Amino acid sequence: MGLVQREIEEAGLPTVSISLEKEITRRLAPPRALFVRWPFGHPLGEPDHVLQQRRMLWECFRDVRERPRERRGEVTDLGLRWKREVYGTVDFSRLDR
């Protein structure tokens, strides 16, 4: 997936991805990647967990907004635990600030 991400960005579109395998993502070094140590097949978390899914989208968009060019290709570890994290509501009206 990192290969495709690089190609899309190369073509001129900003991209952000979630990573479930830090070493592979590091090797492919896509422009923006956020790592969570969660089971495969669950980049946005658990089924029907709306707050968790929204939080992951928030993290992705925030990264798009804030990551500086110098940190392209770095894999950011969000440090979120699997099933032991408490998710509150995220205020998306702050996205554009």
Partner 1 sequence: MTIRSVLDRAVARAIGPFPELQRWWARKAAEAEVEGETPWVPFEGRFAESRIAVFTTGGFRFAEQPAFDCDAGDPSWRAIPHDAELAELVVDHTHYDTRDAKEDPNILLPLDRLRELVDEGALGGLAPTHYSMMGYVPQTAALVEETAPEVVEAMRREEVDLVLLTPA
Interacting residue ranges for partner 1, rule: CB under 8 A: 1-21, 23-24, 27-31, 37-48, 50, 53-54, 56-57, 60-61, 64-65, 69, 72-73, 82, 92-93, 95-96
Measured CA distances, 35 to 18, 24, 26, 88, 91 (Å): 6, 11, 10, 20, 22
Spatial CB neighbours of 69, under 8 Å, sequence gap ≥ 6: none
Give yes or no for a contact between 33 and 63, defined as CB atoms under 8 angstroms apart.
Answer: no
Q: Which is nearer to partner 1, 8 or 78 (CB)?
A: 8
Q: Which is nearer to partner 1, 69 or 86 (CB)?
A: 69
Q: Which is nearer to partner 1, 81 or 86 (CB)?
A: 81
